[in-house]
Amino acid sequence: MTTATRCETTDQSAVLSWAAEKQVEIVLTQPSGGDWASYRSKCVKYDRVSHLLYITSPDPSNHLAEAGLSPTADIGLAFRRGHKKCLFVTRLAGDAPAGAPDAGTIAIEEPEEVRAIQRRAYQRVIVPSHRFVAVKLWEGGIPSRGELCYPLCSGRLANVSVGGVMLDIRADQNPRLQVGDLVGIEITRRPGAKPLLVEGHYRHCVMHNEERLGLGFQFIGLEHTVPGRSSLDEVAEFVSAVRRGV
Q: Does position 2 have pLDDT exceeding 50, yes or no?
A: no
- Domains and their CATH numbers in the chain: 3-119 (2.30.110.10), 123-244 (2.40.10.220)
Summarised one tens digit per residue, pLDDT across range 176-216 is: 999 999 999 999 988 888 899 999 999 999 988 889 999 99
Say yes or no to pLDDT of 9 above 80: no
| pLDDT band (50, 70, 90) for residue 148 | confident
* Residue pLDDT, tens place only, 59-117: 999 998 988 999 999 999 999 999 899 999 999 997 655 666 676 889 999 998 899 99
The CA angle 144-239-26, to the nearest 5 degrees, is 75
**Is residue 152 left, alpha or beta, with left meaning phi > 0 and alpha meaning psi from -120 to 50?**
alpha
pLDDT, tens digit, 9 for 90 and up, residues 37-57: 999 999 999 998 989 999 999
Kindly tell me if the per-residue pLDDT of 128 is higher than 80.
yes
- Asked whether the beta carbons of 136 and 165 are under 8 A apart, the reply is no
Average pLDDT, the chain: 89
Residue 189: the pLDDT is: 85
pLDDT category at 157 given cuts 50, 70, 90 is: very high
* Mean per-residue pLDDT, 223-227: 88
| DSSP of 145-158 | TT-----SEEEEEE
**Coil, helix or strand for 145?**
coil
- Return the pLDDT at 97: 59
Q: Say how far apart CA 124 and CA 187 lie, in whole Å.
A: 16
Q: Is the pLDDT of residue 5 over 80?
A: no
Q: What is the pLDDT of residue 3?
A: 39
Name the band, by pLDDT with cuts 50, 70 and 90, for residue 154. Answer: very high
Residue 4's pLDDT is what?
Answer: 39
